[in-house]
Amino acid sequence: MFLVTEADAAAIRAVLDQAGELSAAIEVRRLFPGITDNAKARAHARAIAGWKPWPVPAFPVTRLHGRPERGEV
């Protein structure tokens, strides 16, 4: 299991668009050294490149309860 930030995903998408799938697999392996198999790195690159960013909420979320935030007393 590994965590992909939006910056990592954008880098992988950019490499895939500019240089192709093999280069994107190499970028995945560079960012995540635990992935050692090229076939798995290619599959991960294709999956990550297909992700869409989460949509921005239509309106802000407001708290209705007067609970203190973490760290506050």
Please state the domain extents for the chain.
Answer: 6-49
Residue 36 neighbours by CB under 8 Å, 6+ apart: 29
> Which 8-state DSSP code applies to residue 72?
-
**Each residue of 18-65: pLDDT tens digit?**
999 999 999 999 999 999 999 999 999 999 999 887 788 788 777 777
In which residue are the tokens 């590994």 written?
Answer: 2
The model's pTM is 0.70
Q: Over the range 1-19, which residues count as b (16 or more CB within 10 Å of their CB) and which as e?
A: eeebeeebbebbbebbeee
